[in-house]
Structure 1
């Protein structure tokens, strides 16, 4: 198999795998470090490297669960409150081996537009996702409404913002099919 065939296979096998699909198995710090090292090789304009990752394991997952649950309860009307959604919100971090807060550390000189910094962080996350795929680790990027209020919880500084949560856990053995519409529907040759 050529390198191109290998990377194509990995890209096409990447899926959003949710916490209820994870095994109760720890991800070693060494494995997490290797995944984050791959994230660090994402493209970045002017080499600003704007990604910042906050790793949560163990007791911090319980704290995240409480934070997300409290946010949900405090920001939904009584009539719209769903006990099932509340329970799911509480369970997701606890079902995960690790949750990484995906943050952006803005270049203080603002030498590039903010959207380029966000795009660079997204590229870093794609590197993490592809790395997880090769290791049998399920993962998905969640962007709950609560991320706009996580500054204190994550101890973010001025110029830093949370762009989402990356849930991770070794996936249970199952097939997860996916399709895409033809690229020809989204391409114009000029």
Structure 2
């Protein structure tokens, strides 16, 4: 429901839970910018303007309009950034994985509050020119945006995922023989 804002204390708790994510060398690489209220209009226009300026031959007017309108359908939009640690020489993937843990904590928190969210990499996520608008530098990564809001009706769909046992090898003996139970 786009016209019902989530209380700020809930958003702060979601962010606090993100801040508890595991990370190698305690680098805490996650960086977030939270857009709410009129900030959603600002965010929508910001991403539309960046898209128009840097999309080149890929520019589409319909996409430009969606970038303005979509944020207004959420209570909050949170940018997801990864700030490289200058003091630690960790592989970049480890820092990205730590941010993904933080987002997973956010997702679980949102779900526990009975809210809805999705992580998108659409829009301006991979535009190098967008980074500075979210406090990121050239060596950092903008990893997307988490849209959060109240759900109009609960999702009751049956999962379309394949069974977990299709994706797991279980080795339970010294010979490395896989058992299928």
TM-score normalised over the length of structure 1? 0.78
For the pair 1:146 / 2:124, whether they are aligned, the reply is: yes
- Greater CA radius of gyration, 1 or 2? 2
Quote the offset at 1:33 in angstroms.
0.8
Answer yes or no: is 1:98 the counterpart of 2:79: no
1:145 deviates by 5.1
Contact 1:56 / 1:100 at 8 angstroms: preserved in 2? yes
1:101-123, Cα deviation, whole Å (9 max, x unpaired): 11111111233211001001000
Q: How many residues align?
A: 167
User: Does residue 170 of structure 1 match 2:160?
Assistant: no
* TM-align CA RMSD: 2.1
Unaligned runs of 5+ in 2: 172-181
Residue equivalent to 2:179 = none
Structure 2 partner of 1:188: 169
Question: How many Å separate the matches in 2 of 1:38 and 1:179?
Answer: 29
Q: Write out per-residue CA displacement over residues 44-86 of structure 1, whole angstroms, 9 at most, x where no aligned residue.
A: 11111111111111222112111222344441548x7353x33
- Distance in 2 (CA, whole Å) between partners of 1:65 and 1:106 is 26
Gaps of 5+ in 1: 1-21
Deviation at 1:162, TM superposition (A): 1.5
Q: What is the aligned partner in structure 1 of residue 135 from structure 2? A: 155
- In 1, Cα distance between the equivalents of 2:87 and 2:138? 13
Q: Pick closer, same or farther for the CA change 1:77–1:112 going to 2, 3 Å.
A: closer
1:158 CA drift (Å): 5.8
Q: Could you tell me how far 1:32 is from its partner in structure 2?
A: 0.8
* TM-score of the two chains, using structure 2 as the length reference: 0.82
